[in-house]
A = this chain, B = another copy of it.
Amino acid sequence: MTRQELFENIKKKQSFLCVGLDTDLKKIPEHLLQEEDPIFAFNKAIIDATAPYCVAYKPNLAFYECFGLKGWMAYEKTIKYLNDNYPDQFIIADAKRGDIGNTSAMYARCFFEGDTQADAVTVAPYMGEDSVSPFLTYEGKWVICLALTSNKGSHDFQLMEDAQGERLFEKVLKTSQNWGNADNMMYVVGATQGRMFEDIRKVVPNHFLLVPGIGAQGGSLEEVCKYGMTKECGLIVNSSRAIIYADKTENFAEVAGQKAKEVQMQMAEQLKNLL
């Protein structure tokens, strides 16, 4: 998917919501556990209920891998279901991968080739250029590089400053612009980072940012938009737990749809500033 197509979808749907498919067998409604593939059954119902209100889905690989073969099967079925039924949805494989060049190339094959292609994969920058660039060789695919994450541990290293006052996350933003551009790279910036979005936008004025951390992690959508929005929106804001686990009864999908709609309506308000 191109940046222009993504922006068109955002305008059409009046939403820049990404629904995080962090599907945990311990948290899904009990009646689904009788299904042959409870993870996929849950995902399918959530997708069908939330698709009108979002532009992206983001399965986090940890939640699939931890169930071994069954988990991978559910992941592949989920991606295939999205590609077959909702081709306008931007699919993010939230994998936070990164390894030496020939190994990152294998990860890129994993997520960008074959029957179960995502549009984007999240990548950790610690190992530098050759760990990221193999993902950038795929036309129409995206790398979403960790910059300033939503968690407490983001303060451990990402804010480290060099002698000139440049912080690690800024160095990541700057350096990685030599590897890709605003048409094939995005960055992860946590919604919990508040006014730091101002600093981020000084370095990457046009790139899309993937913003986790509203909902369960406590970030504010208004603040993110105030400091992070560009004239092409430039934001994909993720919510996982607050939407997909909003209800644990047989109505779970309907309630997830309502929650997604609520967020979409808040986003439509924010998009007025843009149009």
Tell me how many chains of this kind the complex includes: 2
> B100, A149: Cβ atoms under 8 Å?
yes
Give the contacting residue for A175; candidates B94, B101, B156; CB below 8 A: B156
Interface set, chain A 146-178, CB cutoff 8 A to B: 146, 149-158, 160-163, 168, 171-172, 175
**CA–CA, A87 to B29, complex, Å?**
39
Q: Which of A96, A97, A130, A171 has the most CB of B within 10 A?
A: A96
Chain B CB count within 10 A is highest, among A22, A68, A100, for A100
Known: A73-B69, A157-B175. A126 touches B126 (CB 8 A): yes
Q: Write out the residue numbers on chain B whose beta carbons fall within 8 Å of the beta carbon of A128.
A: 151-158
In the complex the two chains form, is A66's CB within 8 Å of B100's CB? no
A246 at the interface (CB under 8 A from B): no
Whether the pair B124, A96 counts as a contact (CB closer than 8 A) is yes
Question: Given A65-B106, A128-B154, A128-B158, 14 other A-B contacts at CB below 8 A?
Answer: A60-B106, A62-B106, A68-B114, A101-B153, A125-B156, A126-B157, A128-B153, A129-B152, A129-B156, A157-B171, A157-B172, A160-B160, A160-B168, A160-B171
For this complex, 26 residue pairs linking A to B, each with C-beta atoms less than 8 Å apart, are: A24-B106, A60-B99, A62-B106, A63-B106, A65-B106, A65-B107, A65-B110, A66-B109, A68-B114, A96-B98, A98-B124, A100-B212, A124-B124, A124-B126, A126-B126, A126-B158, A127-B146, A127-B149, A127-B151, A127-B153, A128-B152, A128-B153, A128-B154, A156-B175, A157-B175, A160-B168
